[in-house]
Amino acid sequence: MRELQVLGQVTGPLANSVLKAAYVKMLPRSVAHVLFDLSQLIAHVLASLRALEGGGGSNSIDVDRLKLVFQTYLDDVQRRVVTCLHQHEPTEEDTRKLASSRCSLPIPFDDVDSIELKDKFLSILAREALGSWQPSYNKALFECCGETSRAHQKWQRSIDHYLTQSGVDVATKQRVLLDAKDLRIESTASGQNLLQVKVRDGLVAKHADKIPVARSKPQLFQRPRFSFAITPKQVLAFVLELFAAWRQAAEAEVVLRCLKPVEVNFNEMVQSIQDISAQCLAGKTRKQEVPFDFSFVHKLEEVLPTVAAFSSREEDGDHETDKLGAGEADRCEAICRQVREALQGILR
């Protein structure tokens, strides 16, 4: 608060009468929260600094081991995507209701041209059914792409952890992680027909042939008449087989849309790793450049473990966020003072 007054941001009366109580309660607790959050990141920073110190980092990455880890991740993504798809697609009960709504009683046909109506009836029914299932697929595709993106974030953290544990230097690790972030997924399916026309028409012809037709006796100067009836059982069998084919096509398309970008992303990352390894191998034959001075790492390592070990009373189980524990404010200030002294030592 005194620093804010010196900077002219607040006046003395405002600081003492209005802001003082809020400052005393909130700002120290905010400092404690910041220190705790910072402590969660310091371990990673220390590992990176140790890799940088004296150029001791390594550029060697075990690609074969990474491929094994990736295969496990890919199988997990496929399982997640298929599960998500089945949660959003129509059920068999919905399909039975659709068939019943189109044919609850036998539909008779009796005409000279009725033989062609079998195909027309089933063809129209197929288009209606596929159209009614498309919105479910659109929603399922969007959710599956979201599930893939969330799994990919977990994969990125796994790569980060693996590279850190392998002692890969920070520059190499950042290049690899940048390649791993670029996941290009198309989550829209506007204008897309999942089931190929030839598959749909093949099912129409197959079930139309199963409907028995009676032909009237020929009469002079009259064309023969064809009589048949489409039954609810026949319609249900057709719709269920059509749904099974659509469901299979939907799963294949979703898996392709979600897993293909993941595989492409991984292959690009592997290519980047191989390029980095080739560059490092070529660099060993050249004259060694003067290494960058990372001596400041020692000074930071004197204070950062203290920050990494910090824990606030709230994280220990006390959730009274408007109060500080005994000596907690002094502890926060002591840590901040150590950090300032270390920075001043580096700047000298």
pLDDT-based confidence at 115, cuts 50/70/90? low
Domain boundaries, the chain: 24-58+289-347, 63-273
Average pLDDT over residues 137-160: 88
Q: Are 295 and 348 in contact (CB under 8 A)?
A: no
Q: How far is CA 94 from CA 10, 89, 90, 101, 132, in A?
A: 67, 10, 6, 11, 11
Residues with Cβ within 8 Å of residue 204, at least 6 apart in sequence:
119, 122, 123, 126, 238
State pLDDT tens for residues 198-208. 999 999 999 98
pLDDT, one tens digit per residue, over 230-273 is: 889 999 999 999 999 999 999 999 988 888 888 888 888 888 88
| Residue 284 scores a pLDDT above 70 | no
Query: What pLDDT score does 246 carry?
Result: 94
pTM, full prediction = 0.59
Which of 133-137, 140-144, 239-243 is predicted most confidently?
239-243
- The answer to whether residue 341 scores a pLDDT higher than 70 is yes
Residue 120 scores a pLDDT above 90? no
Section 9-21 average pLDDT:
59
Q: Average model confidence (pLDDT) for the chain?
A: 75
What is the H or E stretch that residue 108 is in? strand 107-111
Locate 188 and state its tokens: 């829209």
First to last CA, the chain: 29
Question: How big is the chain, counted in residues?
Answer: 348
Sheet holding 226-230, edge to edge: 107-111, 226-230, 214-215
- pLDDT for residue 322 is more than 60: no
Query: To which residue do tokens 């199963």 refer?
Result: 210
